[in-house]
Amino acid sequence: MTRPPSSSGGARRVRCRCGRSVLRQLVGNRAALDVTADADEMTAAAAVKLREPNRLDWCVRTTAGGPDLQWADCHKRRAECTRPHVIDHQCTAPPGSGAHAHGRGRPRKTSVPEGQLALG
């Protein structure tokens, strides 16, 4: 039996508006979550200490295509995960900074709240 393909091709390394390097990926097979995580890898134990109710840590699997973020359910399966982990990014840029704040382009109008993905 073969494994079904993942919901994405792995994480993309991009730069946040605050200047930090982050990983972006849709994580999950059914209801994917749009994840933006700091690119700095750490141990599972260090990631658990930074975890909060609205700030998750992610297990990083390295593939031929690069990093692939996975749900960090490894805490339940074993005492210490040997894979590196990353933590959700908390942007430190002031509100309104970025390309639109400097007059380049017009802000996009969407019918969904900010942070929610529009399907279609």
Q: What's the predicted TM-score (pTM) here?
A: 0.68
Share of the chain above pLDDT 70, in %: 68
**Angle CA 94–57–95, to nearest 5:** 10
Per-residue pLDDT, 29: 77
Per-residue pLDDT, 104: 53
What is the arrangement of strands in the sheet containing 85-87, beginning at the earlier edge strand?
Answer: 66-71, 57-63, 85-87
pLDDT digits (tens, 9 = 90+) for 57-109: 999 998 888 899 988 877 666 567 889 999 999 998 887 765 544 445 556 66
Helices (H) then strands (E): counts for the chain: 2, 6
Tell me, what DSSP letter sits at residue 52?
Answer: B
Paired tokens of 15: 């730069």
